[in-house]
Amino acid sequence: MATDGTGTLWVAIVGAGPAGYYAAEAFTKGDTNVRVDIIDRLPTPFGLIRAGVAPDHQSIKNVSRRYTATNDRDNVRFVGNLELGRDISLDELKEFYDVVILATGASKDRPLGIDGENLDGVIGSAAFVGWYNSHPDFTHLNPDLRVASVAVIGNGNVAVDVARILAKTAHEMASSDLAEYAAKRIHSAPIKDIYILGRRGPLEAAFTPKELGELNAMENCVALVDGAQLPDAANDDDLTGATKKNMAALRQMALNLPEAKPVRLHIKFYRRPVAILGESSVCGIQLEETRVEDGKCIGTGNIETLPAGLVVPCIGYRTSPIEGVPYDEARGRFVNEDGRIDDQLYCVGWAQRGPTGTIGTNKADSVATAHKIMAEFSPSGKKGREGLDALAKERGLHIVTFAEWKKIDAAEVAAAHNGAPRAKFSDVDEMVQIAESPETS
């Protein structure tokens, strides 16, 4: 393997989430002359695995072991606590590296575009999920959960996650890594009714059977569906795959009784939000009844109002724009052709194709992009790491290395109690201090 200098193809991947790590893995398995730096603005790697995957879905988080194995290879380096645009510019990265790959995900909420969406108590899923998952950007969100009723908008897995995390008991969440400050608030909240609102019907819902099924197995909360909203059971045999399994779960829920458990989770279809109501804080949501024609949602003009002290739109995400990178406003992602943005700039994952698919879905385009780069690029004598490190030193930046992340990781695991796998830190300065502290063991 070439170690440095003109024989090395230097690749910078911005964003240490699944898409970034799958691309890095593909490079490490390919050309041995490639060296990869995975840059993240946080001192912690793994992106959505850490701050997006639900805290009670620990088995999904195990995939981080695979990313750790990638990072343990000597041609991959994690560069934490370095923010593109704040600490280093895109032009500077392009100066040091042959190729820059944006794996920055989609961290912004899509707007609903209706009246009232800026009221207090309307919190998009990016912020709400970030809050209960200890993301440093949202630690101070302090949502007011002293409410009786919550409306969760959307029929995707994020809506299901949010409703479940609000509905599960402290006992059910004991083996999760739910942020402690969030657990205190959620588990003392007087919430009695949670609504999951779909603008189309059960056949069009985006949630997956396993996730939907979990809603029917909660300690304190009963999932309810109005059987009249489900299609004729005589046609169930014609259904296939996830839709068939979803329908089976929904039919079970339709048999549940509201008084079975203290908290009720109502899954309501054919309701599109038209306005969020309130003076300064939200007190309700106005919904228009819909019907579906050729897969499209058509309003009927019938309006109903639902009381809600908290509204969480879970309607999808947008990639954060980056200065100098062409952005597709309509799709909420970078303008790219199969991952290529320009001669030196690529994107992978949600930043490339939008916020769809599970963790593993990101692998294919990351691998394809890495292979394309390895086939088309040759080393051009860039400075690579040496250039980045010199610039960080000059600017007094503390880059957090993977070894330092392992110290943060160990401290989180050591701080856990009551069966939790870890007690996550959510303060960047605190994490950097731990990273800088001398080894203790």
Smallest distance, ligand NAP to C-beta of residue 301, A: 17
Shortest distance, position 54 Cβ to ligand NAP, whole Å: 7
Closest contact distance (angstroms) between CB of 316 and ligand NAP is 5
User: By the criterion CB under 6 A, which residues form the site for ligand NAP?
Assistant: 112, 153-159, 161, 198-200, 204, 206, 211, 272-273, 297, 314-316, 355-358
Min dist CB 33 to ligand NAP, Å, is 35
In this structure, are residues 94 and 382 in contact, taking their beta carbons and an 8 Å threshold?
no
Residue 438 is classified by DSSP as P
Q: What's the closest the beta carbon of residue 174 comes to ligand NAP, in angstroms? A: 20
Q: 121 or 156, CB closer to ligand NAP?
A: 156
Judged by CB, which is closer to ligand NAP: 242, or 416? Answer: 242
Choice between 182 and 399, CB closer to ligand NAP? 182
Q: Which is nearer to ligand NAP, 273 or 384 (CB)?
A: 273
Residue 161 or 412 having the CB closest to ligand NAP: 161
Smallest distance from the beta carbon of 324 to ligand NAP, in angstroms? 27
For ligand NAP, which is the closer residue by CB, 26 or 112? 112
Distance CA 273, CA 80 (A): 40
Distances (CA, A) of 153 to 78, 165, 208, 409, 440: 36, 15, 16, 34, 47
CA distance 422 to 261: 30
> How near is the Cβ of 244 to ligand NAP at its closest, in Å?
17
Residue of minimal Cβ distance to ligand NAP: 156
Question: Nearer to ligand NAP by C-beta: 284 or 384?
Answer: 284
Q: Dig out the tokens for 192 from the structure.
A: 């009695």
Shortest distance, position 400 Cβ to ligand NAP, whole Å: 27
**Smallest separation, CB 441 to ligand NAP (Å):** 35
Our CB check for ligand NAP shows the closer of 192 and 210 to be 210
Q: Which is nearer to ligand NAP, 24 or 212 (CB)?
A: 212
Distance from C-alpha of 276 to C-alpha of 116, rounded to nearest angstrom: 4
Q: Please state the closest distance from residue 125 (CB atom) to ligand NAP, in A.
A: 6
Nearest approach, Cβ of 69 to ligand NAP (angstroms)? 22
User: Helix/strand/coil (H, E, C) string of the chain?
Assistant: CCCCHHHCEEEEEECCCHHHHHHHHHHHHCCCCEEEEEECCCCCCCCHHHHCCCCCCHHHHCCHHHHHHHHCCCCEEEEECCCECCCECHHHHHHHCCEEEECCCCCEECCCCCECCCCECECCHHHHHHHHCCCCCCCCCCCCCCCCEEEEECCCHHHHHHHHHHHCCCCCCCCCCCCHHHHHHHHCCCCCEEEEECCCCCCCCCCCHHHHHHCCCCCCEEEEECHHHCCCHHHHHHCCHHHHHHHHHHHHHHCCCHHHCCEEEEEECCEEEEEEEECCEEEEEEEEEEEEECCEEEEEEEEEEEECCEEEECCCEECCCCCCCCEECCCCEECCECCECCCCEEECCHHHHCCCCCCCHHHHHHHHHHHHHHHHCCCCCCCCHHHHHHHHHHCCCCCECHHHHHHHHHHHHHHCCCCCCCCCCCCHHHHHHHHHCCCCC
